[in-house]
Amino acid sequence: MKVKLKSQLFDSDFLRKLERLVISSKITLADGASGNRKSRAKGSSVEFSDYREYSIGDDFKRIDWNAYGRFEKLFIKLFMEEREAPIHIFLDNSKSMDWGEPNKSIASRRLAAALSYISLASFDKVSLICMNNTVDKFKPDLRGKNSFSQVLNLMESLEYTGTTDIYNTVSKYNLKSGKGISIVISDFFTQGKLIDMINYLQFKKQEVYICHILAPQEVSPEIGMSLRLIDIESGEFRDVTSSPALIKTYKKVYNKFITGIEEICKGRGVNYIFMESSVPAEKMVRMVVNGV
């Protein structure tokens, strides 16, 4: 695979690992259908299947005007429906993701890129949507490994701005109907209801993967003395004085936060994968693929 390396974000070592991942990993729909198989159903793909007579209500665009010229009858072209898995990767690029050591933005982009590569290699249709409080950038309907460079370009050029409002933004994104897989990568530091987003995606017949990425400093914060905590997104601040009680309460709140998300996902049959930004990308991918 030849990709022009723009930065250390995706080094050759990472791409080599991706190749190996393709062999061992594959994201599959729950009913077992895969993207690179043709189905018997007639649909709207490019591959011609059959003709039939026009009947009221059919799409005008599908009328075969050449056939009309020959037979002076209206015929509709039928095409083969491809049962490929449309995979949507929603990547949170709000400012809060650009934080931590190792940085969550790097880990999340690597994960998104890796998942895209695997999916493209499996002839799945990949849509990559980067969003903060609105859809920032997106690459819809990428097919084939050749499109991977677009993924990389997008990842490389991604800027982290804005606030997190991933639930609303996902809900506003117009998903095409049909079964598919939606992977949401975020730190989920956001107001709003996760359940609404899951409901929406499931309504759109999506199999949902929640990839929760947090920096190790968010899991166990190291705070000494008095600090003014400044929100990287909003600039708001709170003054805290370090104490065992503070850390203890943080742990409590943190556990509540994680278990809250976990329970919602479990209740809705959603795959929830928690990972710290220190976890290597290939391991993250395996976690996603194996649904752990």
Partner 1 sequence: MTFYSPWAFLGLITIPVIIILYLLKQRHKDYTVSSLFLWEEVLKDLEANAPWQKLKKNLLMILQIIVALLLVFALAKPFLNAVGSDTPHVIVALDTSLSMKATDVGESRFEEAKIRANKLISNLKPGTAVTLISMGKSVNIEENLSSDRARLLDKLSKLNASNTTSDIEDAESLISSIVKQNPESRVVVFGDRAINIYGVDVEFSNISNNGDNFAVTMMSHTKTEKGITVLSRISNYSTKDATIPVSLYVDKNVFDAKNVDIKKGETANVYWNEILPEASLIETRIDIKDSLTMDNSAWNAVNNTKKNKAILISESNVFVEKVAGLYNGIELYKTGYESSDEWKGYDLYIFDGFLPKKIPHDGNVMVFNPNENELFEVLETVEYPVLEEMDESIFRYVEGFDFSIGKTKTLKVPTWGRAILEVNEGCAAFSGIYDNRRVMVFGFDVHNTDIPLTPAFPIIMANSLDWLLPDSINNAQNVYSGEGIEFNIGPNTQKAFVETPSGEKIQIAPPFPVKVFDNTEEPGLYTLRQKTAESEQEFYFTVNVPSQSESNLTQSEDFVEDSNKAQTEEKQKPVNTGMNLQPILLWLIVIVLLIEWWVYTNGV
The residue ranges that bind partner 1 (CB under 8 A) are 96-97, 99-100, 104, 164, 187, 189-191, 215, 218, 221, 223, 225-234, 236-246, 249-250, 252-254, 256-257
Nearer CB in complex with partner 1: 232/264: 232
Task: Kindly report each contact of residues 97-101 with a partner whose C-beta sits within 8 Å and lies 24 or more positions away, as own/partner.
Answer: 97/160, 97/164, 97/186, 97/187, 97/213, 98/160, 98/232, 99/215, 99/232, 100/214, 100/215, 100/216, 100/217, 100/218, 100/277, 101/215, 101/216, 101/217
Over 136-190, what HEC string results?
EEEEEEECCHHHHHHHHHHHHHCCCCCCCCHHHHHHHCCCCCCCEEEEEEECCCC
Q: CA 223 to CA 217: how far, in whole Å? A: 10
To the nearest whole angstrom, how small is the minimum distance from the Cβ of residue 258 to partner 1? 10
Residue given tokens 């994680």 in the structure block: 258
To the nearest whole angstrom, how small is the minimum distance from the Cβ of residue 137 to partner 1? 21
Nearer CB in complex with partner 1: 49/133: 133
Nearer CB in complex with partner 1: 67/223: 223
Nearer CB in complex with partner 1: 109/139: 109
Q: CA 221 to CA 247: how far, in whole Å? A: 8
To the nearest whole angstrom, how small is the minimum distance from the Cβ of residue 63 to partner 1? 54
To the nearest whole angstrom, how small is the minimum distance from the Cβ of residue 188 to partner 1? 9
- What residues contact 282, with CB distance under 8 A and at least 6 apart? 17, 18, 20, 21, 114
To the nearest whole angstrom, how small is the minimum distance from the Cβ of residue 253 to partner 1? 4
Nearer CB in complex with partner 1: 252/283: 252
To the nearest whole angstrom, how small is the minimum distance from the Cβ of residue 144 to partner 1? 36
Question: Which of 207, 218, 288 has its CA nearest to residue 257?
Answer: 218
Helix or strand or coil: residue 30?
A: coil
Q: CA 127 to CA 11: how far, in whole Å? A: 23
Nearer CB in complex with partner 1: 55/226: 226
Residue given tokens 């791409």 in the structure block: 15
Nearer CB in complex with partner 1: 134/255: 255
Helix or strand or coil: residue 11?
A: coil
Q: CA 71 to CA 58: how far, in whole Å? A: 19
To the nearest whole angstrom, how small is the minimum distance from the Cβ of residue 107 to partner 1? 13
